[in-house]
Amino acid sequence: MNHEHSNTEMMKSTGLQKNSGKETFMLELYIDMMLQEALLKNEKEKLLIEIDKALDQKNEELFQHYCNELKEINKRFGT
């Protein structure tokens, strides 16, 4: 009887480890998504600042350059 109890406990333990692995993977995926979103937001904000500077300086070439970069980012990330 004691032997059966230990097998049951081992099965429970194995199941918990599998769930823990899945949960760890999901947590890592979520963290990665959050980091990517933060980096994207930061990159967009920098480009918008550069676009504003180009407008203030009436520099059409820089304006077009930064706008094209922003379009590429939006296209790449579907935003």
Q: How many CA atoms lie within 13 A of 40 on its CB side?
A: 15
Predicted local distance difference test score (pLDDT) of residue 14: 57
d(CA 32, CA 61): 35
Question: For 51-76, how does the pLDDT look when each residue is reduced to its tens digit (9 = 90+)?
Answer: 999 999 999 999 999 999 999 999 98
* The pLDDT of residue 7 is above 70: no
Question: For 9-52, how does the pLDDT look when each residue is reduced to its tens digit (9 = 90+)?
Answer: 655 655 555 667 888 999 999 999 999 999 999 999 999 999 99
* The pLDDT of residue 2 is above 80: no
* The pLDDT of residue 1 is above 50: no
CB contact at 8 A, 51 and 66? yes
